[in-house]
């Protein structure tokens, strides 16, 4: 394994060494981004970070962020038709991806993961995905990747309002509004959102427990309704170009019914419900006027979940967060960032004993350095050490490098490679849940190596980006809940995830017609190579992780019309330790958008068809998914700038 890490890194560095270019081109030039991702990439050369283009974000704003990730990235989303969706980047578990808002990882500290269905894309100005380990930047949990929820830094001068509403099949309804006001120095941005869906769709029930599994009966989905509401308020002030204060408060109130499986749905008598509310606050002061640039951030997070309206069984946490960071250029082409992140956590969980856990403190110390002493060559060294109350966290370093090689005046190759360690501290539930918690767990630890090459070509009529990444991820002390006489969390597995990812973004302009094409493909074998329980689940694909994921999106724009088609393929998956599988599936969507202007008022009408071919498929075994559905939407924009 050490030889593999060394070989991948040397290959990447070798490619870099032989390059001789003197020009630079960023790999975001082809995207219409509303938010700069430069700060994310600056200290992570060699990392694969992509940003969702504006049109793809616009058509997937109804519901949670899982819609955009599933349709437009090579990432598997495990979900039912109700209110639960989890992300699995490069074959890792949902708790191996951090979801970042400001300086906060919003993942639940009790479960270790986020429900993507309750994170509305509408509330944000953009979203970026990082593939591969990033614990040296994002801390505990970033073993498989990271999601960044982005807010713009436009500094509104004037007044702007944007409102959107949609209605669709199976009781779907969404409405939202964004209000921007400011004078170029101070700014207020208010965003509010409401979404609901009945999910009373028809389907073919292949399992009722009363007839042969090969037979199918018509059925209607019951007990899968959901409702999400929330707001996000920003208050920002700019003292000068290089000195500013930003703050944001995000409140969400989410409710959903736990979708019954096909057998239970056939004899439906009622369902279970989960209610969640979350309050997240982050404020940050930045001062970039001196030789040493610095920032200070403070935050608070309140998470609470209630099951079946039972207030005596609350599962919640409260967090206080503080961060201090300094950046300085120590020499030409050498910049160093140092910082500390502190968290004070107070769990409020009915099964935790105060004698075992009353509070917990986390302290992360980190150093990041970036070197650009040779033109177009950039490499970095990142170091991070976490300290946890009554727990030992590992030291995590990372190395990364990238180089741009000019082929022609407007064509380039970007060569990248990285090595990193990553980790995840066990969740509070893993350690303290009743008598089943295991305080003796070890942290999960990952070793990641990857290399990539991207071809970039930019012109007046044709732009393209073609990229291939290879990666290898070895995760030791993988935690699972197993039945050892009673259910308990244990470090039972060592898992190896490896594979190849291909991504392509192209755009061609012919007269008034502009056409874009996005292609994604991931081949990802993920296998346990060691199992402490010795139950035989070794050297075969992990459950609910497809080897093959692919999608494509085609959009055309002419005058005020936009036409789009996209399709997603998810391969076969194992569903249990006995070798049972569910078939792969393909879902096709299409839509049309019409932009209108009426007396300086701007409107946009959209009509979308999801699952155009009415595919009958299961994302989880014996959980129905909706067939063909329709969505009609109206968007209004008003802008009055000085």
DSSP bridge partners of 320? 300, 344
Share of the chain above pLDDT 70, in %: 92
Residue 546's pLDDT is: 97
- Name the pLDDT band for 32 (thresholds 50, 70, 90): very low
Residue 598's pLDDT is: 86
Pairing of the two strands 548-558 and 360-374: unpaired
Tokens of 50: 């992509």
The closest of 573, 549, 552, 539 to 499, measured between CA atoms, is: 549
Number of CB atoms found within 10 A of residue 598's CB: 7
Please tell me the distance from the alpha carbon of residue 416 to that of residue 44, in angstroms, as a whole number: 10
Please tell me the distance from the alpha carbon of residue 458 to that of residue 31, in angstroms, as a whole number: 12
Residue 306's pLDDT is: 95
pLDDT(209) > 70: no
- The pLDDT tens digits for 547-592 are 999 999 999 999 999 999 999 999 999 998 888 999 999 999 999 9
pLDDT(33) > 50: no
Residue 288's pLDDT is: 94
Q: Where are the beta strands (DSSP E) in 524-624?
A: 526-531, 548-558, 561-570, 573-574, 581-582, 585-598, 601-610
The closest of 544, 536, 541, 507 to 619, measured between CA atoms, is: 544
pTM over 0.85: yes
pLDDT(91) > 50: yes
pLDDT(36) > 70: no
The mean-pLDDT minimum among 261-265, 374-378, 638-642 falls in 638-642
- The pLDDT tens digits for 316-375 are 999 999 999 999 999 999 999 999 999 999 999 999 988 889 999 999 999 999 999 898
Number of CB atoms found within 10 A of residue 427's CB: 22
- Name the pLDDT band for 109 (thresholds 50, 70, 90): very high
Residue 536's pLDDT is: 59
Residue 252's pLDDT is: 97
Average pLDDT over residues 33-46: 71
Residue 19's pLDDT is: 37
- DSSP-derived letter for residue 102 is T
Residue 208's pLDDT is: 62
pLDDT(26) > 80: no
Residue 589's pLDDT is: 97
Residue 319's pLDDT is: 98
Please tell me the distance from the alpha carbon of residue 182 to that of residue 642, in angstroms, as a whole number: 10
Q: What are phi and psi of 55, to 5 degrees?
A: -65, -40
Residue 395's pLDDT is: 96
- The pLDDT tens digits for 461-520 are 999 999 999 999 999 999 998 876 788 899 999 999 999 999 999 999 999 999 999 999
Do 323 and 280 contact (CB within 8 A), yes or no? no
Residue 210's pLDDT is: 53
Instruction: Annotate 19-44 with DSSP letters as a single string.
Output: --------TTTTS--SS--HHHHHT-
pLDDT(618) > 70: yes
- The pLDDT tens digits for 414-445 are 999 999 999 999 999 999 998 888 999 999 99
Please tell me the distance from the alpha carbon of residue 286 to that of residue 294, in angstroms, as a whole number: 6
Share of the chain above pLDDT 90, in %: 78
- Name the pLDDT band for 16 (thresholds 50, 70, 90): very low
Position with higher pLDDT, 509 vs 211: 509
Number of CB atoms found within 10 A of residue 273's CB: 16
pLDDT(125) > 90: yes
pLDDT(7) > 80: no
Q: Where are the beta strands (DSSP E) in 258-390?
A: 273-287, 292-307, 314-331, 334-349, 360-374, 377-388
Average pLDDT over residues 7-28: 36
pLDDT(20) > 70: no
Question: What is the overall mean pLDDT for the chain?
Answer: 90
pLDDT(11) > 60: no
Residue 273's pLDDT is: 95
Residue 37: C-alpha distances to residues 70, 288, 296, 544 (Å): 21, 18, 20, 31
**What domains appear along the chain, each with residue ranges and CATH number?**
2-641 (2.40.170.20)
The closest of 87, 111, 481, 141 to 316, measured between CA atoms, is: 111
């Amino acid at each position: 394994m050490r030889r593999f890490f060394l070989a991948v890194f040397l290959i990447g560095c070798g490619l870099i060494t032989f390059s001789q270019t003197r020009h630079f081109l960023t790999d975001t030039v082809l995207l219409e981004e509303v938010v700069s991702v430069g700060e994310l990439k600056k200290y992570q050369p060699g990392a694969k970070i992509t940003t969702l283009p504006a049109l793809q974000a616009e058509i997937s704003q109804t519901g949670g962020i899982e819609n955009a990730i599933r349709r437009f990235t090579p990432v598997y989303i495990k979900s039912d038709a109700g209110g639960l969706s989890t992300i699995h980047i490069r074959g890792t578990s949902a708790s191996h991806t951090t979801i970042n808002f400001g300086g906060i990882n919003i993942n639940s500290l009790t479960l270790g993961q986020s429900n993507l269905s309750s994170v509305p894309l509408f509330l944000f100005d953009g979203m970026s995905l990082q593939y591969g380990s990033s614990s040296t930047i994002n801390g505990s949990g970033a073993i498989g990747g990271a999601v960044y929820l982005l807010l713009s830094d436009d500094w509104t001068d004037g007044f702007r309002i944007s409102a959107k509403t949609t209605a669709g099949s199976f009781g779907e309804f969404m409405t939202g509004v964004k209000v921007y006001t400011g004078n170029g120095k101070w700014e207020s941005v208010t965003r509010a959102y409401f979404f609901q869906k009945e999910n009373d769709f028809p389907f073919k029930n292949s399992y009722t427990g009363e007839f042969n599994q090969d037979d199918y009966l018509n059925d209607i989905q019951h007990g899968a309704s959901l409702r999400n509401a929330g707001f996000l308020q920003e208050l920002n002030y700019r003292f000068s170009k290089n000195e500013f204060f930003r703050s944001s408060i995000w409140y969400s109130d989410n409710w959903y019914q736990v979708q019954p499986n096909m057998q239970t749905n056939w004899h439906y008598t009622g369902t279970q419900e989960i209610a969640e509310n979350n309050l997240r606050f982050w404020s940050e002061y930045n001062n970039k006027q001196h030789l040493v640039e610095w920032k200070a951030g403070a935050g608070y997070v309140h998470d609470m979940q209630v099951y079946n309206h039972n207030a005596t069984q609350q599962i919640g946490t409260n967090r206080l967060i503080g961060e201090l960071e300094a950046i300085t250029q120590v020499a030409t082409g050498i910049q160093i960032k140092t910082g500390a992140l502190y968290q004070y956590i107070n769990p409020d969980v009915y099964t935790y004993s105060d004698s075992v856990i009353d509070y917990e403190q986390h302290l992360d110390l980190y150093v990041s350095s970036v070197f650009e002493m040779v033109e177009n060559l950039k490499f970095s060294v990142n170091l991070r050490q976490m300290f946890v109350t009554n727990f030992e966290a590992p030291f995590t370093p990372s190395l990364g490098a990238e180089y741009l090689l000019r082929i022609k005046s407007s064509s380039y190759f970007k060569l990248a490679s990285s090595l990193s360690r990553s980790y995840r501290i066990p969740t509070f539930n893993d350690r303290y849940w009743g008598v089943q918690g295991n305080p003796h767990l070890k942290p999960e630890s990952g070793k990641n190596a990857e290399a990539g090459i991207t071809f970039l070509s930019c012109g007046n009529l044709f732009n393209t980006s073609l990229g291939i990444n290879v990666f290898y991820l070895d995760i030791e002390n993988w935690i699972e809940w197993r039945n050892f006489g009673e259910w308990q969390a244990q470090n039972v597995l060592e898992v190896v995830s490896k594979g190849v990812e291909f991504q392509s973004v192209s755009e061609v302009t012919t007269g008034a017609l502009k056409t874009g094409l996005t292609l994604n493909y991931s081949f990802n074998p993920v296998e346990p190579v060691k199992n402490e329980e010795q139950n035989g689940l070794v050297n075969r694909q992990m459950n609910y992780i497809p080897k093959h994921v692919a999608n494509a999106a085609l959009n055309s724009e002419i005058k005020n019309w936009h036409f789009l088609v996209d399709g997603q393929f998810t391969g076969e998956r194992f569903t249990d330790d006995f070798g049972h599988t569910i078939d792969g599936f393909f879902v096709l969507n299409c839509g049309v958008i019409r932009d209108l202007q009426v007396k300086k008022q701007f409107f946009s009408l959209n009509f979308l068809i999801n699952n155009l071919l009415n595919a009958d498929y299961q994302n989880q075994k014996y959980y129905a998914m909706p067939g063909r559905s329709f969505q009609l939407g109206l968007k209004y924009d008003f802008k009055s700038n000085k």
